[in-house]
Amino acid sequence: DTAVSQTPKYLVTQMGNDKSIKCEQNLGHDTMYWYKQDSKKFLKIMFSYNNKELIINETVPNRFSPKSPDKAHLNLHINSLELGDSAVYFCASSPLGGGHSYEQYFGPGTRLTVT
Amino acid sequence: LAKTTQPISMDSYEGQEVNITCSHNNIATNDYITWYQQFPSQGPRFIIQGYKTKVTNEVASLFIPADRKSSTLSLPRVSLSDTAVYYCLVGDPFGNEKLTFGTGTRLTIIP
């Protein structure tokens, strides 16, 4: 069974469109994250959600919005897509506290290409 | 956040032990050291975490000297499948401090 899954794996779309990436974890973790890895391979955190509350919100454009319908899901909505949004987006999850918040489990990634 | 410095790349032959060193001169008292591995087209994978001295699991060992200003990830008898990027991260896992990934070390195993 896949621990952290993302859909779609690949997403090609045009500038100005609105798209969503879905993430699900079946590990029972309380915290979920979204990361962006650009073409230079730098991996940067975008959001962190704990018990359906946003606890970390890096300085990302407000065109990006995380949505968590329940503890097992954290979806990423992107409005008015721009060329610079092209990257690989990773979802991750981790147990709450107990010294495990640095032990994160990552999904396979979604490669977003904006044309 | 403690800044980390790692070699950009390393090469090693199959069957050898590989040691990747990470410098973190301004590590704080509550900070732990965590290593991740990332294969091409995959998400990072947690390898090992430690606070001081030595930690060993089925995949690797982590050596941390007494001053904790550096750490060394040791991979025993590497194989071609160990070719990946290895990230060293330093921070307080008991807080809400975010994981900060650096450039990592690109390890290439040569047959």
Mean pLDDT of chain B: 91
Q: Which residues contact A108 (CB under 8 A, 6 or more apart)?
A: A4, A5, A6, A9, B42, B43
Give yes or no for A58 touching B (CB within 8 A): yes
pLDDT tier for residue B66 given thresholds of 50, 70 and 90: very high
Give yes or no for A101 touching B (CB within 8 A): yes
Residue B35's alpha-carbon distances to A2, A8, A69, A105, in angstroms, are 22, 28, 31, 13
B41 and A109 within 8 Å at the Cβ level: the answer is yes
CA-based nearest distance A65→chain B, Å:
18
Closest CA to A113 of A39, A55, A61: A39
Query: Average of pLDDT values for B33-46?
Result: 92
Query: Average of pLDDT values for B80-102?
Result: 83
Structure tokens at B79: 């194989």
pLDDT of B13 above 50: yes
Contact B31, B90 (CB under 8 A): yes
B44 and A43 within 8 Å at the Cβ level: the answer is yes
pLDDT tier for residue B3 given thresholds of 50, 70 and 90: confident
Residue ranges in chain A modelled with pLDDT below 50: 98-99
Query: Average of pLDDT values for B69-97?
Result: 89
pLDDT of B7 above 70: yes
